[in-house]
Amino acid sequence: MKVLFVCLGNICRSPLAEAVFNHKISERQLLFKADSCGTGAYHIGHPPDIRTIKTAERNGITINHLARQLHERDFEEFDFIVAMDQSNRTNILRLAGANQSKHKVLMMRDFDPAGNGDVPDPYYGTMIDFQEVYEILDRSMDEFLKSLRS
Ligand code: 4NP
């Protein structure tokens, strides 16, 4: 089972989602695979935003990723493509075009027991916004993993 987490820049939300996912699957000894990418090209090859790295560290999560852009072949390679917000989802579906894989595209917060909608973009925010993203991802990922296992 391979899961791709997608945001806009691939330096804030989706690399943290990938790291939270990897942390939880290694705790649970599950054999899923994860990657992340952005719909935009601005940060290709860049490490995560320093605030993402600090937020991961503060919460005991290892993060190790270099940004890349979503590619058409991702629709073949991954079983699930998880968008952080509605705008990411629109852009993913646009790239999918007539591809049969549109059913693979999910919204991260459809798994949030505390409420649905977007994982808010923290890029123009503060560390408080990054911690809020972490907490959304942490609780959404528990439900997402339950649904993958069932
Ligand atoms: P992300 O956040 O999509 O969560 O990685 C952003 C990163 C960079 C930009 C926007 C959002 N940007 O405009 O460069």
Q: How far is the CA of 95 from the centre of ligand 1 (A)?
A: 19
Helix (H, G, I), strand (E, B) or coil at 139: helix
Determine which residue's CA is closest to atom 6 belonging to ligand 1: 9
Cβ contact 109:119 at 8 Å: yes
Percentage, residues of the chain above pLDDT 70: 100
Read off the pLDDT of each residue in 91-112 and give the average, rounded to a whole number: 94
Rounded to an integer, what distance in angstroms lies between the CA atom of residue 76 and that of residue 73? 5
Q: How far is the CA of 11 from the centre of ligand 1 (A)?
A: 6
Atom of ligand 1 nearest to the CA of 15: 5
Distance (Å) of CA 92 to CA 32, 88, 105, 123:
22, 6, 8, 20
What dihedral do alpha carbons 140, 56, 88, 21 form, nearest 10°? -50
Q: pLDDT tens digits for 8-54?
A: 999 999 999 999 999 999 999 999 999 999 999 999 999 999 999 99
Q: How far is the CA of 150 from the centre of ligand 1 (A)?
A: 33
Asked if 142 is an active-site residue, the reply is: no
Q: pLDDT tens digits for 115-137?
A: 999 999 999 999 999 999 999 99
Atom of ligand 1 nearest to the CA of 14: 4
Determine which residue's CA is closest to atom 8 belonging to ligand 1: 9
Full DSSP string of 62-118? -------B--TTHHHH-SEEEESSHHHHHHHHHHHTT-GGGGGEEEGGGG-TT--S-
Tell me the pTM. Answer: 0.98
